[in-house]
């Protein structure tokens, strides 16, 4: 069974700092990897989807990378803002599987 | 474009009561999922469906039933609610084929309290 780990569980940074969130997975046979954001009391919003053949994807201040061979993905957030405060989760669908496996998330707080 | 819509958003039940959560998606996705999210437990898959008329068990299916009579709708039922089913429930959908798994889209969630 695929195991997805996100470390650290919580992170607090001052506004303006660049930061990296980590996602590790045990089985490299995946279709893609997806990063989500969840605000308190809300649903999950898709941020970036990286296909298994890609190395990275960018959207605005966000950049996600994927290294399948090492079972790792990182989400880089540039020039962090208080509005970036949320929980960030990653998810992977394994090849031949019908479901997504989620990490438990990293809770990010950006201090003004 | 509504995406994934869940109803109701909030519900309070007494132990032993029954209820149904409705999930509707307008993206013509084949795959639909029901998750529950609890503090410290992350997202756990309850049931899922790979197409109209099909359902399958996920990680925590006990106490729940599902139906997918129409492609756009996925219903989650609790026949006899228990306090342990107090949770936030999320529906999600994705486009999948035999060789491709697409982006996962979530609803806003349904907060259920069982007294």
Q: Which of B23, B40, B43, B50 to mutate to test the interface with A (most CBs of A within 10 A)?
A: B43
Rounded Cα gap, residues B19 and B78, in angstroms: 5
Q: Answer whether A45 touches B (CB < 8 Å).
A: yes
Q: Is the pLDDT of residue B42 over 80?
A: yes
- Dump pLDDT digits (tens) for B46-62: 999 999 999 999 999 99
- Torsion region of B2: left, alpha or beta (phi above 0 gives left; psi -120 to 50 gives alpha): alpha
What pLDDT band is residue B96 in, cutting at 50, 70 and 90? confident
A10 min Cα distance to partner chain B (Å): 12
Q: Answer whether A31 touches B (CB < 8 Å).
A: yes
Q: What pLDDT, on the 0 to 100 scale, is given for residue B41?
A: 83
- Dump pLDDT digits (tens) for A9-39: 999 999 999 999 999 999 988 889 999 999 9
B100 min Cα distance to partner chain A (Å): 7
Helix (H) or strand (E) holding A44: strand A44-51
Rounded Cα gap, residues A73 and A64, in angstroms: 7
User: What percentage of chain B exceeds 90 in pLDDT?
Assistant: 86
Q: What pLDDT, on the 0 to 100 scale, is given for residue B98?
A: 62
Rounded Cα gap, residues A92 and A34, in angstroms: 6
Mean pLDDT by 10 residues, chain A (112 residues): 92 97 93 94 93 92 95 97 97 81 95 96
């Amino acid at each position: 069974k695929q195991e997805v780990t996100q470390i650290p569980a919580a992170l607090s940074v001052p506004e303006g700092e660049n930061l990296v969130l980590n996602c590790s997975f045990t089985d490299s046979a995946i279709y893609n990897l997806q990063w989500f954001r969840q605000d308190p009391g809300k649903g999950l919003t898709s941020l970036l989807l990286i296909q298994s053949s890609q190395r990275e994807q960018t959207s605005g201040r966000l950049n996600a990378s994927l290294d399948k061979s090492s079972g790792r993905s990182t989400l880089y957030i540039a020039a962090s803002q208080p509005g970036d405060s949320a929980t960030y989760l990653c998810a992977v669908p394994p090849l031949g599987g019908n479901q997504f496996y989620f990490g438990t998330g990293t809770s990010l707080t950006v201090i003004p | 474009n509504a995406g994934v819509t869940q109803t109701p958003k909030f519900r309070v039940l007494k132990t032993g009561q029954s209820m149904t959560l409705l999930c509707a998606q307008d993206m013509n996705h084949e795959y639909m999922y029901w998750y529950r999210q609890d503090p410290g437990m992350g997202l756990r898959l309850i049931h899922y469906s790979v197409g109209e008329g099909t359902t399958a068990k996920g990680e925590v299916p006990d106490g729940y039933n599902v139906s997918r009579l129409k492609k756009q709708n996925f219903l989650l039922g609790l026949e006899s609610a228990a306090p342990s089913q107090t949770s936030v429930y999320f529906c999600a959908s994705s486009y999948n084929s035999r060789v491709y798994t697409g982006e996962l889209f979530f609803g806003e969630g349904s907060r259920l309290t069982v007294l």
